[in-house]
Amino acid sequence: MKNEIVLKNISVSYGNSDILNNVSFSIESSNPTCIIGKGSSGKTTLLKTILGLIKLKKGKIIINKSMNNNSNHFGVVFQKDALFDSLPVWQNVMFQSLRSENNSKLIIKTKRILKSVGLSPLDAFLMPNELSGGMRKRVAIARAISHEPKYLILDEPTAGLDPIKSNLIFNIITKLNKERRMTILAVSSDMKGAIKYFKQLIFLDSKKVHWSGKPSEALKKPTKLIGKFLAKV
């Protein structure tokens, strides 16, 4: 199974304002994909639409050849990590299962998941305010993969992190793609990281797909818009 996400000519509007216009592309587990664009280009709206949080004006979103969007198939990492500050790390990670399994089993699962994102099992008992920015991001990723989703959606996963911590997060994402065969779709402003760690780039501009392809192609024959992003690397 390729775990595909296919967008066919989708458009999204808020009131009378068009946010996305006739957007089409497809991704699968073999091609971790990063969406890049200027502010207000519709990147986050696009993610929310794929997740079924925003209704389409027109077009189709097909998940594994089905029009039915099963939210259990998705793991989501929000831009501001969205951890519950009143809950310890293990309860944040296993939040979806708190009422269905006993605590000892959940703690064991949490420790295993934390190790997969480069954290210590002892971190399971810390509170969010005891975590660094990079640790919070990794806990957010751990929570997103706790129910073993087929798709991992990330909105600016390295926002606010220094280059070393950003590379750590991107390495974790790459590892999850390889080991768990997750289909990865991220929005990122980190052009350097996008080129290094993703196999497919999609540039949004003027509410549409400006360009899509391999990072090597973007470097070889950049458009004027892509050139502006590359100049910041």
The tokens for 9 are 């000519």
In this prediction the pTM is 0.92
Q: Which amino acid is at 111?
A: K
Which residue has tokens 């949490």? 110
CA distances from 66 to 69, 85, 142, 158 (A): 8, 37, 27, 31
Are 83 and 91 in contact by the 8 Å Cβ rule? The answer is no
Are 201 and 229 in contact by the 8 Å Cβ rule? The answer is no
Q: Domain range spanning residue 211?
A: 5-230
For the chain, the domain total comes to 1
Which residue has tokens 């990670």? 93
Percent of the chain with pLDDT over 90: 77
- For residue 68, pLDDT over 80 is answered with no
What value does the mean pLDDT take over residues 111-130?
96
**Secondary structure of 27-65 in the HEC alphabet?**
ECCCCCEEEEECCCCCHHHHHHHHCCCCCCCEEEEEECC
The CATH number covering residue 61 comes to 3.40.50.300
Mean pLDDT (the chain) is 92
pLDDT of residue 69: 65
Distance, in Å, from the CA atom of 175 to the CA atom of 36, rounded to the nearest integer, reads: 21
Predicted confidence band of residue 2 (pLDDT cuts 50, 70, 90): confident
Predicted confidence band of residue 118 (pLDDT cuts 50, 70, 90): very high
Predicted confidence band of residue 65 (pLDDT cuts 50, 70, 90): confident
Closest CA to 215 of 34, 61, 65, 24: 34
pLDDT of residue 167: 95
Distance, in Å, from the CA atom of 36 to the CA atom of 202, rounded to the nearest integer, reads: 6
Q: Give the tens place of pLDDT for each residue, 30-51.
A: 999 999 998 778 899 999 999 9
pLDDT of residue 67: 67
- For residue 1, pLDDT over 60 is answered with no
